[in-house]
Amino acid sequence: MKGTHGTTQDRVESIKKNGFQFPCSGESGRRKGSGVYFWDYETDDYRQDAIELARVFWANLGRIRGKESQPGNGLAVADVTFDENMVFVDALVKENLEVLMVMLRENESKYQSAQGENIDFEEWGGVYDNFIREIERVWQKEVHALRISAQVPGKNVPVRFRMQPQTCLVVRAPSEVIKELEFLDVSNL
């Protein structure tokens, strides 16, 4: 299994040296769960789409956060190969999706009230984190990632990505499960 992740050029050396770091408490990306998001792919035929997803997501997120024009914030795309022993829960499987949807429904009022507020997501625990903990309890083993479907936010999203949500992996401890890491030259994208 492989995946792509869009980030800024100024983070490349840090990622190579220290691995991927996800946001601290109170920063974006913690409401649903802790982890680094990778657009997953399994075939070379789909690899270019996964790279494009990383690019479009990064560009739109930069615009949303107002960071796209800051120095050092050019696009860098990480292309990773995950260890074949990585344990992941596929939330696209109907039984898993139903359990996750019930948890989302049960936490919806908490999630709604958190919109725009600075709450302690570490203490609350994101919905995905709680879901993974429940799966770990049932499976009696550590889960490294969760496969979900996600929409790419913002403008200039290719039609094919708007027609169908794309799959991505929320990886909890990327350093433990990334077997190969390569940063791609995306200057021609």
Taking the whole predicted model, whether its pTM rises above 0.75 is answered as yes
33-170-135 Cα angle (round to 5): 70
**pLDDT at 92 (0 to 100):** 85
**pLDDT at 63 (0 to 100):** 56
Q: How far apart are CA 17 and CA 72, in angstroms?
A: 18
Nearest Cα to Cα of residue 79 among 47, 102, 108: 47
Amino acid letter, residue 89: V
User: Within the chain, which residues score under 70 in pLDDT?
Assistant: 23-32, 62-73, 107-125, 187-189
**pLDDT at 26 (0 to 100):** 45
**pLDDT at 3 (0 to 100):** 96
* pLDDT tens-digit series, residues 48-99: 999 999 988 887 776 545 555 455 567 889 999 999 999 999 988 888 888 8
